[in-house]
Chain A
Amino acid sequence: NAGVTQTPKFQVLKTGQSMTLQCAQDMNHNSMYWYRQDPGMGLRLIYYSASEGTTDKGEVPNGYNVSRLNKREFSLRLESAAPSQTSVYFCASSLIPLGQGTDTQYFGPGTRLTVL
């Protein structure tokens, strides 16, 4: 099993450009998440998908959109990138559907994004 995979690993954008970060998991997990990690800020939840077909906002959703393409894939889109979105982005997944109890989250290796 590859676990949680993310593409690309690194990306540099100019202000105003758009891009999509891809995430896939092969563990048949129900819930998927997108976080951003900034120095001194820990991880902050951007969006999550409790189960296939549903998405919800997290703590910092502004400037982002998501798509739960199927049970395996959850993408994050930046429509018009801003320097404030320079960060490391992590995708995660968990087996138990959100709202049905506690569960471990499994993380991808991250995408390091720089917006100039």
Chain B
Amino acid sequence: SQQGEEDPQALSIQEGENATMNCSYKTSINNLQWYRQNSGRGLVHLILIRSNEREKHSGRLRVTLDTSKKSSSLLITASRAADTASYFCATGNSGAGSYQLTFGKGTKLSVIP
């Protein structure tokens, strides 16, 4: 079952604009990760934020986490055509000696040159 749900499902913006994607989840997490997938390729890790962190930056990426609302957002600033891809949030869960990542269904971002 999907833990994270991204919103919107699809987003189209002009190059240079900012893109914001949201992720909501249902149960307690240890961390939340964002991945990018270019068409026909594997997933690439972007950033990990732990449950005790509220905000994290990496280059043009800014991730926030609100554990009280069980939500996270990914902001890509000054978007480029090369940012066109699908973006997935994945929640890190633990329990009973196992630890898995559970992926959402993704947001498809199109950046128009």
Contact = CB atoms under 8 A, between A and B. Distances in A.
Interface of A: 4, 35, 40-45, 48, 50, 56, 58-59, 90, 92, 98-102, 104-110
A59 B50 CA distance: 24
Interface residues of B, number: 28
B112 interface: no
Interface in B84-98: 88, 90, 92, 94, 97-98
The interface centre, meaning the residue of A42, A45, A50, A99 with most chain B CB atoms within 10 A of its CB, is A42
B30 A107 contact: no
Interface string B75-113: 000000000000010101010011111111110000000
A10 B26 CA distance: 35
Given A104-B33, A104-B48, A42 B41 contact: no
B98 A42 contact: no
